[in-house]
Amino acid sequence: MARSPHDYGHLVARWRAVARESGLRLRRLVRAGGFEHFYLRTPALSTEGGIYISAGIHGDEPASSAALVSWAEKNARRLMHWPLLIFPVLNPQGLINNCRYDAAGLDLNRLFHRDDQPVINAVKKIVTPFQFRLALMLHEDYDAEGFYLYEIKRKLPFWGEALLAAASRVIAIEPRGKIDGRTAAAGLIRRRFNRALFAKIGYPEAIWLHEFHAERSLTIETPSEFALAQRVRAHEVILDECLRRAGFD
* Smallest distance, Zn ion to C-beta of residue 21, A: 29
Packing angle between helix 228-245 and helix 160-167, nearest 10 degrees?
Answer: 140
Interface with Zn ion in residues 173-202 (CB under 5 A)? none
User: Least distance (Å) from Zn ion to the CB of residue 16?
Assistant: 25
What is the nearest approach in angstroms of Zn ion to the Cβ of residue 57? 6
CA of residue 239 relative to chain centroid, distance: 10
Nearer to Zn ion, 62 or 83 (CB): 62
Name the one range near Zn ion by CB under 5 A: 21-29, 51-59, 128-136, 233-241: 51-59
Closest CB to Zn ion among 61 and 241? 61
Residue ranges in 8-27 that form contacts with Zn ion under rule CB under 5 A: none
- Residue 201 Cβ, how far from Zn ion at the closest point, in Å? 14
8-state DSSP, 105: S
Q: Which of 14, 133, 139, 235 binds Zn ion (CB under 5 A)?
A: 139
Q: Which long-range contacts (CB under 8 A, 24 or more apart) does 114-122 make?
A: 114/202, 118/30, 118/32, 119/29, 119/30, 119/32, 119/33, 119/37, 119/90, 119/91, 121/30, 122/29, 122/30, 122/32, 122/37
CB of 113 to Zn ion, least distance (A): 18
User: Does 231 contact Zn ion by CB under 5 A?
Assistant: no
Q: Which span (21-29, 119-127, 131-139, 174-182) binds Zn ion, by CB under 5 A?
A: 131-139
For the chain, the distance separating the N- and C-terminal CA atoms, rounded to the nearest angstrom, is 33
Residue 32 or 90 with smaller CB distance to Zn ion: 90
Peptide bond before residue 157 is cis, with ω within 30 degrees of 0: yes
CB of 100 to Zn ion, least distance (A): 7
C-alpha closest to that of 189 among 211, 158, 213 = 158
Q: Which of residues 56-85 bind Zn ion (CB under 5 A)?
A: 58, 61
Residues 174 and 223: their CA atoms lie apart, in Å, by: 8
Residue 150: DSSP 8-state? E
Nearer Cβ to Zn ion (61/151): 61
Kindly state the smallest distance separating residue 46's Cβ from Zn ion, in Å: 29
Cα 194 to Cα 185: distance, rounded to the nearest angstrom = 20
- Which range binds Zn ion by CB under 5 A, 135-143, 161-169, 196-204, 205-213? 135-143
Q: Give whichever of 61 and 174 is closer to Zn ion, judged by the CB atom.
A: 61
Sheet containing 188-191: order of strands: 27-32, 35-41, 84-87, 48-55, 131-141, 217-223, 148-152, 188-191
Q: Using CB under 5 A as the criterion, which residues of the chain lie in contact with Zn ion when the complex forms?
A: 58, 61, 139
